Structure 1
């Protein structure tokens, strides 16, 4: 399983492109995913919903207004209807041909690479019938189970995924673990492989507790150099960022400094 390669203390922290390379292209579009692959990011994170006719579609919000020229909820449109909306011009006119992609299209792209694919199920506020089953079926179809990680703020969704396919890696999304009662016991009960906390609350104590219990930590969403450098010092397993290329550069610089220090 590719996830097992993300080891605390390893020489390379995994850099995961948040909604693709969303710092330079419209988030959760093929343009953003292709740019993440072009810079050789270690992974891609995306968000999924279901269309009215049950197609798995990639978008962060439950509604269309922020990232397309449409309005209303994704679940109220069929796949064909969703394809009428421009998903790129809000970011820049050069992306006016971008459309909301299907998860299947992204999987066809990713299967040609060694990327880790982090799929977030957006089920915390909307019930999507059998979305877990549909995602698992697609990952099996494209032989990407060993290269995928399912995350969600909805712990019931994560539990369901583990029942459907125990070997599929899962991650609990949480803003600040230290604010949740019996957090670590909950994580153990869920049998998650990783925890995805907000970088603002990540501490050495959380890293130590996660390591003691066998959980990996992939944190979101640092974009500033000083934030990324701090997380590298904490030895987080993965950094989920809108600017993966910047994170790669900082990682190379940090490795260079450490190499020089070790020779002194």
Structure 2
């Protein structure tokens, strides 16, 4: 069967070379040819959606602030990029950068960047759970997407989660949006399968694809499911995904993967 090559999705931006979830990482991913951008979203204490993976900022800024208990202005005052490029301040010949490229990024700013870009770009947005705000995260997300006119069947957006309940909420609020049921293991897939609709995309981890390619092949060839895989950094795994008919690969290395697939 002739397979089309998978879409290349930048995992938290070009996170192999730039601090994850920063505007700088997403700009680098776009410059490298990424066809879609992936982000995680959480709600701040004052109700803003920000692109942050962990519940707190310890890993990326050495600050113990919990995202959901901190207001946006305080998060924006933090440096969340130096941990990735600690050597930059020592390079006298490095160009002066825009400080905004290394700050906590709001989802609104990321959506604006995609809307203004000079070629079509898709977004894969993961809502993080569990959270103190429960379904409010999905509600605020759909409200924001609606401001951009991105809740219809033609929206360049899909919403992802490890929680099928969260994706049910998204579908109630925006029935035409694509949703992605993330799963880490074959056992998780069999547990959630009865609760998801036939048109939902499945998002297995790369470990599951390696260990159980037969399960993934049945998703694609037997059940006609769309499959998006995370996190695919090894080029041999990229080829493995392409051979299985997987539609999208989420990678920290968008430039390398785009180049590889273009040459293949």
TM-score by shorter chain over 0.5: yes
Q: CA deviation at 1:183?
A: 4.0
Q: CA deviation at 1:40?
A: 2.1
Q: Are residues 129 and 151 of structure 1, via their aligned partners in 2, closer, same or farther at CA, if it must alter by over 3 Å? A: closer
Alpha-carbon distance in structure 2 between the residues aligned to 1:183 and 1:156: 10
The 3-state SS of whatever aligns with 1:209 is helix
The 3-state SS of whatever aligns with 2:103 is coil
Alpha-carbon distance in structure 2 between the residues aligned to 1:55 and 1:252: 38
Alpha-carbon distance in structure 1 between the residues aligned to 2:263 and 2:23: 30
198-207 or 13-22, larger mean C-alpha shift:
198-207
Q: Deviations over 1:92-133 (max 9, x none)?
A: 044793111100000000112411100000023543451111
Q: Are residues 96 and 63 of structure 1, via their aligned partners in 2, closer, same or farther at CA, if it must alter by over 3 Å? A: farther
The 3-state SS of whatever aligns with 2:56 is coil
124-133 or 58-67, larger mean C-alpha shift:
124-133
1:117 is matched with which residue: 120, 123, 131? 123
Considering only aligned residues, what root-mean-square deviation do their CA atoms show, in Å?
2.0
- The answer on 1:225 being equivalent to 2:235 is yes
Conservation of the 8 A alpha-carbon contact between 1:207 and 1:217:
no
Q: CA deviation at 1:248?
A: 1.2
Alpha-carbon distance in structure 1 between the residues aligned to 2:195 and 2:175: 17
233-242 or 244-253, larger mean C-alpha shift:
244-253
Alpha-carbon distance in structure 1 between the residues aligned to 2:113 and 2:107: 10
5+ residue gaps, structure 1: 1-7, 255-264
Tell me what 1:197 maps to. 204
Tell me what 2:32 maps to. 39
5+ residue gaps, structure 2: 89-96
Tell me what 1:108 maps to. 112
The 3-state SS of whatever aligns with 1:82 is helix
Alpha-carbon distance in structure 2 between the residues aligned to 1:86 and 1:221: 26
- The answer on 1:184 being equivalent to 2:193 is yes
Alpha-carbon distance in structure 1 between the residues aligned to 2:77 and 2:51: 15
Alpha-carbon distance in structure 2 between the residues aligned to 1:180 and 1:240: 19
- The answer on 1:50 being equivalent to 2:60 is no
How many aligned residue pairs are there? Answer: 245
1:243 is matched with which residue: 243, 249, 253? 253
Tell me what 1:261 maps to. none
The 3-state SS of whatever aligns with 2:236 is helix
| TM-score, structure 1 normalization | 0.86
2:171 is matched with which residue: 162, 170, 175? 162
Q: CA deviation at 1:185?
A: 2.5
